[in-house]
């Protein structure tokens, strides 16, 4: 089985978010970039398929040179080969086109992406890739088993879960549950050394077409101070929630 | 011309999200002089959409579509867009709508903006305001294609009644066989889901162990709320992953969010930031959550929550 894992290069979850150039660009100053958390669960599941079922695992990212340390990390974790499509990510459609091209030409059976990236939170790339390459698609995937080219997956729905089956090729939008938090791997020294010898292919983009463009960013208005209520005065809290906030 | 909405239903009844999406579409239609057309699948009360400004409902009645299927449903919407020549398609941000919207976007070659929180601005291009960086910021996104898809964030617009008469017509386009099979659906029907909840009650490490969740559930029951938890609580296995809210868990956009024993890590606060009113109960007055909350009680959850449950029962009884 050939697996392609899509990796987003995103600000660490603790990052302070600021903008520059008259609020038109994300300010990367002092920001640490990491593998997208949803992608990392998928990557770890891919390593399981590699170790238990002999799958090969390639990773792809669409990004400029600054994304290389992030994708190198996936090689150190155990991916076999990395592909960086040398393009500045503009919107989901453009990124999906690039990944679809890699997926189609590489003949992958399974494409694993995170359900959404934690920067622009579009949540669209996996579904778009699936449609573009004519593969099946399962989103918010929290469990995935593959036997004899057949997938059994659990999808999280609002208020529950759904078990689905389908043939490969398949694209999933993954998240926590594919593996547990404790299963995530930190690259060890041997992995880091080996990663240096693994191929990192830089590929020219096939398209520059984007459909949605960010024009300007803003931050939420600063919040007023919290109103503290005495622990002995629960009635006051109920009164505030009812009459002031109109929340109950 | 028309604006098309996907009005979701469950057990043949339209969901609140359907009416919110209708309200939003009707507000756009008022400016552009368009009609709002809704697509429903196996819904009984389609006429109710009229109260929110929908003038026509394309109702699909098909027993084989009782379970949601992403391929069939996106095909239905694609065909409905062809039928109505709609330029704007509006969906909610439920798990199912988020699942099908990217497929629809590719089918229609339509730019799709998700997590939208306000009406579009059309003075210089078609721009929508959406959440980015998990609610830590907003972005104005211009959709540059002729056809546009908007995913409206839950509770961002609210319900706005607008008297119109919705005419329901049968809509049964041919649908290809789906290659994904739904084997089973496991849904907790007696509890409200985080996505649909008006109120969410959430517990953190301050509750000391899974055995203490009874009071969280009791509080949720009194309020008709969904229960949720912080990341460490789900990582330790005290509560299921499906309850984890925050940046890497589920986003919450409820009217009221009550955080109990949650200190308020930046990732957690980002995930719940879209909620309208936030209440924190924590022993540590230095907890970062107090900076993000509207109301707070510095106190021990084990003393405060049982009292709150009792007082709320009294309140509910006298306001019934």
pTM for this one?
0.95
Indicate the pLDDT class of residue A149, thresholds 50, 70 and 90.
very high
Q: How far is B54 from chain A (nearest CA, A)?
A: 25
Q: CA of A133: how far to CAs of A99, A107, A116, B288, in Å?
A: 10, 10, 19, 46
| Per-residue pLDDT tens digits for A197-212 | 999 999 999 987 899 9
Same-domain status, B57 and B160: yes
Is B184 within the bounds of a domain?
no
**pLDDT of the residue at A223:** 85
User: If you average pLDDT over residues B270-293, what whole number do you get?
Assistant: 96
Q: What is the CATH number of the domain that holds A41?
A: 3.40.50.620
Is A228's Cβ below 8 Å from some Cβ in B?
A: yes
How far is Cα A94 from Cα A81, in angstroms, rounded to an integer?
Answer: 22
Same-domain status, B155 and B284: no
Same-domain status, B146 and B249: no
Q: How far is A7 from chain B (nearest CA, A)?
A: 15
Is A245 within the bounds of a domain?
no
Is B181 within the bounds of a domain?
no
**Domains in chain A, number:** 1
Is A97 within the bounds of a domain?
yes
Quote the DSSP letter at residue A116: S
Is B203 within the bounds of a domain?
yes
| ipTM of predicted complex | 0.96
Is A242's Cβ below 8 Å from some Cβ in B?
A: yes
* DSSP for chain B, written as a single string: -EEEEE--EETTEE-HHHHHHHHHHHHHHHHHTPEEEEEEES-S-GGGGGGBT--EEEEE--GGGSS--HHHHHHHHHHHHHHHT-SEEEE--SHHHHHHHHHHHHHHT-EEEEEE-S--B-TTS-EEEEEETTTTEEEEEEE-SSSEEEEEPTTSS----B---PEEEE-----PPPS-EEEEEEE-TTS--TTT-SEEEEE-GGG-SGGGGHHHHHHHHHHTPEEEE-HHHHHTTSS-GGGBBSSSSB----SEEEEES----HHHHHHHTT-SEEEEEES-TT-THHHH-SEEEES-HHHHHHHHHHHHHHHHHHH-
Is A25 within the bounds of a domain?
yes
- Between positions 10 and 39 of A, the ones with CB within 8 A of B are 11, 13-14, 17, 19, 37-38
**pLDDT of the residue at A68:** 97
**pLDDT of the residue at B27:** 97
| Per-residue pLDDT tens digits for B164-216 | 799 999 999 999 988 999 999 998 877 889 998 999 999 999 999 999 999 99
| Per-residue pLDDT tens digits for A92-115 | 999 999 999 999 999 999 999 999
Where in the sequence is the domain holding A127, given as residue range(s)?
Answer: 2-216
Is A139's Cβ below 8 Å from some Cβ in B?
A: yes
Contact A35, A79 (CB under 8 A): no
| Per-residue pLDDT tens digits for B101-121 | 999 999 999 999 999 999 999
Q: How far is A32 from chain B (nearest CA, A)?
A: 14
Is B193 within the bounds of a domain?
no
Q: Which residues of B touch A247 (CB under 8 A)?
A: 199, 255-256, 276-277
Same-domain status, B95 and B244: no
pLDDT at A182 over 80: yes
Best of B9, B72, B99, B120 to substitute, by most chain A Cβ atoms within 10 angstroms, is B99
Express as a percent the part of chain A with pLDDT over 70.
Answer: 100
pLDDT at B309 over 80: yes
| Per-residue pLDDT tens digits for B16-33 | 999 999 999 999 999 999
β-strands A2-6, A56-62 pairing = parallel
User: If you average pLDDT over residues A64-84, what whole number do you get?
Assistant: 98
**Cβ contact (<8 Å) for B142 and A215?**
yes
How far is Cα A77 from Cα A42, in angstroms, rounded to an integer?
Answer: 12
Q: How far is B210 from chain A (nearest CA, A)?
A: 18
User: If you average pLDDT over residues A54-78, what whole number do you get?
Assistant: 98
Same-domain status, B12 and B136: yes
Is B180 within the bounds of a domain?
no
Same-domain status, B16 and B165: yes
**Domains in chain B, number:** 2
**pLDDT of the residue at B36:** 97
Is B281 within the bounds of a domain?
yes
| Per-residue pLDDT tens digits for B70-96 | 999 999 999 999 999 999 999 999 999
**pLDDT of the residue at B189:** 76
Is A227 within the bounds of a domain?
no
**Cβ contact (<8 Å) for B138 and A220?**
yes
Q: What is the CATH number of the domain that holds B51?
A: 3.40.50.620
Where in the sequence is the domain holding B118, given as residue range(s)?
Answer: 2-170
Q: In the predicted model, what is the mean pLDDT of chain B?
A: 96
- Terminal Cα distance for chain B, rounded: 45
| Per-residue pLDDT tens digits for A19-36 | 999 999 999 999 999 999
Best of A237, A240, A242, A243 to substitute, by most chain B Cβ atoms within 10 angstroms, is A237
**pLDDT of the residue at B163:** 79
**pLDDT of the residue at B153:** 96
Same-domain status, B137 and B209: no
Half-sphere exposure of B267 (CA within 13 A, CB side): 18
User: If you average pLDDT over residues A72-89, what whole number do you get?
Assistant: 98
Indicate the pLDDT class of residue A222, thresholds 50, 70 and 90.
confident
Is A207's Cβ below 8 Å from some Cβ in B?
A: no
Indicate the pLDDT class of residue B46, thresholds 50, 70 and 90.
very high
With both helix axes pointing from N to C terminus, report the angle between B214-223 and B301-319 in degrees, rounded to the nearest 10. Answer: 20
Is A186 within the bounds of a domain?
yes
Q: What is the CATH number of the domain that holds B269?
A: 3.40.50.1220
């Amino acid at each position: 089985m050939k697996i392609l894992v899509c990796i987003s290069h995103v600000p660490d979850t603790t990052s302070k978010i600021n903008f520059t150039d008259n609020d038109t660009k994300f300010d990367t100053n002092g920001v640490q970039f990491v593998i997208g958390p949803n992608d990392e669960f998928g990557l770890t599941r891919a390593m399981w398929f590699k170790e238990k079922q002999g799958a090969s695992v390639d990773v792809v990212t669409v990004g400029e040179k600054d994304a290389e340390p992030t994708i190198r990390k996936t090689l150190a974790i155990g991916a076999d080969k990395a592909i960086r499509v040398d393009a500045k990510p503009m919107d989901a459609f453009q990124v999906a086109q690039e990944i679809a091209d890699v997926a189609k030409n590489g003949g992958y059976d399974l494409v694993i992406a995170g359900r959404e990236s934690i920067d622009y939170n579009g949540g669209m790339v996996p579904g778009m890739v699936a449609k573009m390459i004519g593969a099946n698609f399962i989103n918010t995937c929290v469990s995935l088993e593959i036997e004899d080219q057949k997938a059994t997956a659990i999808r999280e729905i609002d208020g529950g879960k759904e078990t689905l089956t389908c043939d490969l090729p398949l694209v999933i939008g993954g998240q926590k549950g594919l593996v547990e938090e404790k299963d995530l791997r930190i690259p060890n020294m041997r992995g880091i050394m080996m990663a240096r010898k693994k191929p990192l292919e830089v590929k020219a983009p096939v398209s520059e077409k984007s459909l949605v463009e960010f024009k300007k960013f803003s931050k939420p208005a600063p919040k007023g101070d919290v109103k503290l209520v005495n622990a002995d005065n629960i009635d006051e809290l109920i009164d505030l929630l009812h009459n002031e906030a109109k929340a109950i | 011309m028309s604006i098309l909405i996907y009005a979701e239903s469950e057990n043949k009844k339209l969901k609140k999200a359907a009416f919110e999406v209708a309200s939003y579409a009707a507000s756009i239609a008022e400016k552009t002089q368009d009609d709002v057309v809704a697509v429903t699948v196996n819904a009984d009360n389609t006429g109710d959409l009229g109260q929110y400004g929908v003038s026509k409902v394309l109702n699909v009645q098909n027993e084989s579509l009782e379970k949601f299927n992403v391929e069939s449903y996106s095909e239905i919407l694609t065909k409905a867009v062809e039928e109505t020549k709609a330029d704007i398609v509006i969906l909610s941000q439920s798990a199912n709508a988020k699942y099908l919207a990217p497929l629809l976007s590719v089918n229609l070659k339509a730019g799709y903006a998700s997590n939208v929180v306000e009406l579009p601005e059309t003075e210089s291009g078609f721009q929508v305001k959406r959440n980015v960086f998990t609610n830590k910021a907003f972005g104005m996104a211009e959709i540059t294609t002729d056809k546009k898809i908007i995913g409206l964030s839950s509770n961002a617009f609210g319900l706005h009644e607008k008297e119109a008469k919705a005419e329901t017509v049968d809509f049964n386009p041919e649908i290809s066989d789906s290659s994904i099979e739904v084997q089973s659906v496991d849904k907790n029907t007696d509890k409200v889901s985080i996505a649909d909840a008006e109120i969410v009650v959430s517990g953190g490490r301050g509750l000391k162990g899974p055995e203490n969740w009874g009071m969280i559930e009791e509080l949720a029951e009194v309020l008709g709320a969904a229960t949720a938890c912080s990341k460490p609580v789900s990582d330790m296995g005290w509560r299921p992953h499906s309850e984890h809210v925050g940046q890497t868990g589920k986003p919450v956009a409820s009217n009221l969010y009550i955080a109990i024993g949650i200190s308020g890590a930046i990732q957690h606060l980002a995930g719940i930031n879209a909620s309208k009113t936030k209440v924190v109960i924590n022993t540590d007055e230095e907890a970062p959550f107090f900076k993000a909350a509207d109301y707070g009680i510095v106190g021990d959850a084990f003393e405060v929550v049982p009292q709150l449950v009792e007082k709320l029962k009294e309140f509910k009884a006298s306001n019934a």
